[in-house]
Amino acid sequence: MVTIAMMIRYDFIVIGSGPAGRRAAIQAAKLGRSVLVVEKGRRVGGVSVHTGTIPSKTLRETVLNLTGWRERGFYGKAYRVKKDIEAKDLMARLHKTLDHEVDVLEHQFARNGVHTMFGLGRFIEPHVIEVTLDNSDVRVVEGIKIMIAVGTRPYRPADVPFNGINILDSDDILQVPHLPRSLTVVGGGVIGVEYATIFSALDVNVALVESRPSFLEFIDHELIEDFTHQLRDRGMAIRFGQKVARIEFEHDWPVTILDNGRRIRSEMLLYAAGRVGATDTLNLQSCGLMSDDRGRLKVDPITFQTNVPHIYAAGDAIGFPSLASTSMEQGRIAACHAFSIAMPPAPDYFPYGIYSVPEISTVGMSEEEVRRRGIPYECGIARFRETSRGHIMGLSNGMMKMLFSIKTRRLLGVHIVGEGATELVHIGQAVLNLHGTLDYFIENTFNYPTLAEAYKIAALDAWNRMTPV
């Protein structure tokens, strides 16, 4: 037992400063509680700021700008803003963005009186955390309430010969020394798809390998069919239903050998087949917790409380949906529950955003889910090329799909693939959570010309199908 007099006591200790951790810490501080954030990195922000959400989305935006991707509908596939794009061009904007994100977060912590401690935290008792600082000094702190928000790290199987040069994980890819001429991406989850399409937009020859029959299976299947067609149309090789048997080298280039004997040789390989919770260093047995085989913690889905009542967990460390947006809300809800602040229930539906090229975003039920529930429904489709704004932007692809209940006319789901999808989806989100109907889209006026006009086009398409001639 550690002597209490040796320790500083806090009302709330948060381990990790990613989206869940920082939102929980600031919420607790606004409730007048003393808060400490323990961060193992050298700067606050966690995986989201340094190797995850912000870097990958910054990389995507930089690629779209430098390649002139958005203008190719008018000026042709050979159009470029910058002719010779190098890795250093991508990194310049990345570092500037990360510095800004860290500066904003440090200011938020300072303004709200949140203390920070940089070092590796681990439990030594249920209420006591030992923090090993960078200089090997050790600090011991006590928390009345504790939040675990340590995030995840890339899954690295022992039989994959990672070398940080041309066989990389999704953290390594952000430090890539040069742009490859060809890239194999193993893993068709969100991370793999995002990076595969970003490099494809750079005109890198990309092969995507996914062991399942399709990818992004939680997205409406018709949307994925359209998305897959777009990727193949621009030359991406997609190998569904094929597992990786082994990875070898041939003249210093990685060769991915599939279980059907097919060989894929490329200059670089990105292995992005999953992530694991970074909970293995927390000494969980000392506080009565246990993680699953992927390092994830089980929590109450409403309060985010673990089976140890004073310990909470949120964000990627608890698994699906592993989105920065939902992680922030989880952190806020957990902090409020920890200090007995009543919270309204979370909305029924939240949006998913996949920052691929093109973007995908969805909210509500997919057509497959509507069918499983036995709800009589109708759908409406709008193609972005049908809108005047789409013409102005030179869009030849992109679609919106809306699902409505035939009985109640209520909106059931909105699914978008194409330019601006992650922004457009919020109109559908608002109508969905407010139990709005088809009539909202029919009767209201949208700015013209905008891509948001697709809502009216899709709604009219559904209305035509639902209305007897």
Percent of the chain with pLDDT over 70: 99
Question: Looking at residue 208, what is its pLDDT?
Answer: 97
Residue 163 has pLDDT above 90, yes or no: yes
Number of residues in the chain: 469
Question: Looking at residue 441, what is its pLDDT?
Answer: 97
467 or 189, higher pLDDT: 189
> Smallest Cα–Cα separation from 179: which of 195, 191, 193?
195
CA distance 221 to 213: 12
> Smallest Cα–Cα separation from 241: which of 224, 255, 259, 253?
259
CA distance 298 to 438: 39
Least confident of 192-196, 266-270, 312-316, 392-396: 392-396
Residue 204 has pLDDT above 50, yes or no: yes
Can you read off the two tokens belonging to residue 113?
């009186």
pLDDT band at 6 (very low <50, low <70, confident <90, very high): low
pLDDT digits (tens, 9 = 90+) for 365-374: 999 999 999 9
How far is CA 237 from each of CA 46, 71, 234, 256, rounded to the nearest angstrom? 33, 24, 9, 14
Helices (H) and strands (E) in the chain, counts: 13, 21
Domain 4-154+276-338, classified CATH 3.30.465.10, yes or no: no
48 or 333, higher pLDDT: 333
141 or 343, higher pLDDT: 141
Question: Looking at residue 78, what is its pLDDT?
Answer: 81
pLDDT band at 5 (very low <50, low <70, confident <90, very high): very low
CATH superfamily of the 352-466 domain = FAD/NAD-linked reductase, C-terminal dimerisation domain (3.30.390.30)
The predicted model gives 235-253 an average pLDDT of 95
Can you read off the two tokens belonging to residue 133?
């600082």
The predicted model gives 436-450 an average pLDDT of 96
pLDDT digits (tens, 9 = 90+) for 345-398: 777 789 999 999 999 999 999 999 999 999 999 999 999 999 999 999 989 899
94 or 238, higher pLDDT: 238
The predicted model gives 332-339 an average pLDDT of 96
> Smallest Cα–Cα separation from 269: which of 153, 160, 158?
160
pLDDT digits (tens, 9 = 90+) for 126-159: 999 999 998 889 999 999 999 999 999 999 999 9
Helices 19-30 + 87-112 axis angle, to 10: 20
pLDDT band at 469 (very low <50, low <70, confident <90, very high): low
Question: Looking at residue 336, what is its pLDDT?
Answer: 96
Domain 167-273, classified CATH 3.50.50.60, yes or no: yes
The predicted model gives 430-454 an average pLDDT of 96
429 or 79, higher pLDDT: 429
- Comma-separated ranges of CATH 3.50.50.60 domains in the chain: 4-154+276-338, 167-273
For residues 211 and 243, the answer to whether their CB atoms sit within 8 Å is yes
For residues 122 and 148, the answer to whether their CB atoms sit within 8 Å is no
Question: Looking at residue 48, what is its pLDDT?
Answer: 83
Residue 293 has pLDDT above 50, yes or no: yes
Question: Looking at residue 52, what is its pLDDT?
Answer: 85
pLDDT band at 76 (very low <50, low <70, confident <90, very high): confident
The predicted model gives 178-184 an average pLDDT of 95
**First-residue to last-residue Cα distance in the chain:** 79
